[in-house]
Chains A and B, each alone.
Chain A
Amino acid sequence: MMELLAFIASHRAEMATRLGEHVVLVAASTAIAAAIGIPLGIVAARRPSLSRPIVGLANLAQTIPSLALFGFLIPLPFIGGIGTRTALVALTVYAVLPILRGTITGLQGVPPAVVECAVAMGLTPRQVLRQVEWPLALPSIVSGLRVAVVIGVGTATIASAIGAGGLGDYIFRGLAMVDATVILAGALPAAILALAADAALAAAGHLADPRRRSRRHGLVLAAVAVLAIVTAVSGRTFAGRADLVIGSKNFTEQVVLGELMAQAIERETGLTVERRLNLGGTAIAHAALLSGGIDVYVEYTGTALTAIFNAPPSADSEQVFALVRDRYASMGLTLMPRLGFNNTFAILVRGEDARRLALKTVSDLAGAVKSDATWEAGFGYEFLERPDGFKGLSAAYGLPFAAAPRVMDLNLIYRALAAGEIDVTAGDATSGLIDTLGLAVLDDDRHYFPVYDAAPVARASVMLQYPAAAAAIRRLAGRVSAADMRQMNFAVDGEKQDPGRVVRAFLLNGPAAPPPSAPVPIPQ
């Protein structure tokens, strides 16, 4: 708890921004959903023949898992892409159903005799709706809105994966850092926000009901409204468009590298930098770069080659770099010089298993698995899907696992391995958790894994527009060794240090460890 308070105290300004983004996301999407759902509900309540298809469609939309919906939306023109707009569309889709339902239920619950009297008294259809049906249906519509808002606050945390910001940033960052404090820094305010929004709408509903109208409800509503406006406005002022937007994928090393580029640019130029760290994967980061949602992020050459350009993997560092640079160039992106380390996959087992069975290489592991059917593997989603992932690996080494590998979140595999839930996994060679959790890296003795040299990839137009920023990024070339990376990852994952502080120390003191004996060649 003290750690959480300390974290909140030291991240006040940023938290205000994230909270503001969150409030804006939920408020705007609920408002749009109400503008769609209420009229639709009125139509559906009047025409039962239309009610079934309308509600069915809204139901269907509700069943799409949120990450999948974000995934569908990214390639779409106008409503898609990366960032706030896409998140708004997705959140609106989810908010429509409860509001629609509330409207239909409320209108259908109006006693027919009351409506008949209203009509017979000479109210026009519009007057019947406004003066009789609307006030009687309002409590039900308000409960629909309350459900929509509570769902929205929860779902908006996932919007962080597509760069829309919000409190989800802390949750994803905390997951990446395996740091419960950071997760709580996102989850707790989100929960409080949900409760506050629910209470505010309940108070608003009571205010709209002439029989339960009271000063207390007015005060609650006014307080929450003022709070919402203040956070939204403070969020806005912080969220003004910066000169450059730095992105990263959603694991610690990526966040550190994003922070590294951001601080290098901030230190060496007068440009303002916005951080859109924690994007939910390679495809999303790449789409964000293409659509201009971000201007630069660090990619790994082998990942770009296979996952983005669908080319066969290769172990030749120079050849892969040249090929990927050309492919990027043809789509208006510039691959900058490599940072200096190769983050290939590392096959990991528990240290005690490695010692007990004398496992040194992946070939040793294949032998051990053959003689013992209880070995269980677990991998991240990407590793299982990619051509240079599990399929190729098991073909190259003949790994005869009895059961199909378990699919796990990339951020959880190290802990799952250490806890004995799985026995083998594939992690990042530069993961700080390897040392923290006492895991052993098995040598890739058949040279199956291709190179994954880290290199920033940027929008060419932005690099031309801000040559000083391009120069600052170029100066990072060859400055980060695998040992540096592992040490920084450990500082964040193991020692729970703030990525910004770790990067600041690194830039001030230079490489903490002596440079590796065989430095990676830097083509210029």
Chain B
Amino acid sequence: MAGQTVALVGRSGSGKTTLLRLVNRLLDPDSGDVLVDGQSTRAWDPIALRRRTGYVIQDAGLFPHLTVAGNIATVPRLLGWPEARVAARVDELLTLVGLEPGTYRGRWPDELSGGQRQRAGLARALAADPPLLLMDEPFGALDPITKGELHAEFQRLQRTRLAPHSDALRSERRGGGQRSVILVTHDMAEACALADLIAVLHEGQLIACDTPAQVRASDDPRVRALMGIS
């Protein structure tokens, strides 16, 4: 699974977001364990776990009182990076997500379009180069053209594995340069386009977990309903 992109697909209320929030301990399981790097989330220090887990939600959830740069710099500053390194990382990430640093560094979140906000949110989640990235309907509120652009951007990022440009960063990465992504979406087409594996949830139960091709070929009516095929 390491380095792969897994899409959680299902109807509203099927438990996708709940499952995602179990991973970074925003929620604790009622029973059983959620393992991250082979260790139960209950055993993880929640703060340490979250700082190595990127999190992107619909409409980005940017801090409205901070500039784009301030938003991206939040976690690096918490980790005590020197300001010069923070600034370099901000520009690096802005370039990576397709926002020109000189133009967007000092912008306020409400001065951005929906797609730009989503790019900034992605840059913020990647700031400390986390080995795991959680995305909750990150493209849900975008128009089809913007969504398409961002899909392409995301695929490019995953292909290049978001390789950090500096050696210092690369040596810090514990996940060996590989980033796993869990992507929540109700859009099966999006899941097929972006994910290596698709997990289908129905009323809190996992009813399928396979490659996009296998899932697409499923004859389970609940899966087919999600794909818009009856």
Let me know if A470 is at the binding interface, CB within 8 A: no
Cβ-closest chain A residue relative to B74: A121
Query: Which residue, of B47, B52, B125, has the highest number of chain A Cβ atoms within 10 A?
Result: B47
Which residue from A111, A117, A120, A122 sits with its C-beta under 8 Å from B78? A122
C-beta contact mask, A73-94 vs B, less than 8 Å → 1, else 0?
0000000000000000000000
B217 to chain A, nearest CB (A): 35
B51 touches A119 (CB 8 A): no
Let me know if A131 is at the binding interface, CB within 8 A: yes
Cβ-closest chain A residue relative to B75: A121
Known: A135-B65, A136-B65. A120 touches B59 (CB 8 A): no
- A99-157 at interface with B (beta carbon < 8 Å): 111, 113-114, 116-124, 127, 131-132, 135-136
A116 touches B64 (CB 8 A): no
Q: Give the CA-CA distance A209 to B66 in the complex, in Å.
A: 10
Which residue from A118, A124, A127, A211 sits with its C-beta under 8 Å from B63? A118
- A205-229 at interface with B (beta carbon < 8 Å): 209-211
Which residue from B24, B26, B50, B59 sits with its C-beta under 8 Å from A113? B59
A122 touches B26 (CB 8 A): no
Of the four ranges (under 10, 10 to 19, 20 to 34, 35 or more), the interface on chain B belongs to 20 to 34
A122 touches B51 (CB 8 A): yes
A136 touches B64 (CB 8 A): yes
B104 to chain A, nearest CB (A): 16
Known: A113-B57, A131-B74. A122 touches B65 (CB 8 A): no
Q: Give the CA-CA distance A120 to B61 in the complex, in Å.
A: 11
A114 touches B26 (CB 8 A): no
List residues of chain B with CB within 8 A of the CB of A127. 78
Chain B residues with a Cβ under 8 A of chain A: 24, 26, 47-53, 55, 57, 59-65, 74-75, 78, 108, 124-125, 134
Top 9 nearest A-B pairs by Cβ distance?
Answer: A122-B51, A122-B50, A117-B61, A120-B55, A113-B61, A135-B65, A122-B47, A114-B61, A121-B75
In the assembled complex, 12 residue pairs joining A and B whose CB atoms fall closer than 8 Å, in A order, are A113-B57, A114-B62, A116-B57, A117-B55, A120-B24, A120-B50, A120-B134, A121-B125, A122-B49, A135-B65, A136-B64, A209-B65
Q: Given A117-B60, A120-B24, 16 other A-B contacts at CB below 8 A?
A: A111-B64, A113-B59, A114-B61, A116-B26, A117-B57, A117-B63, A120-B55, A121-B50, A121-B74, A122-B48, A122-B50, A122-B52, A124-B47, A132-B65, A211-B65, A211-B108
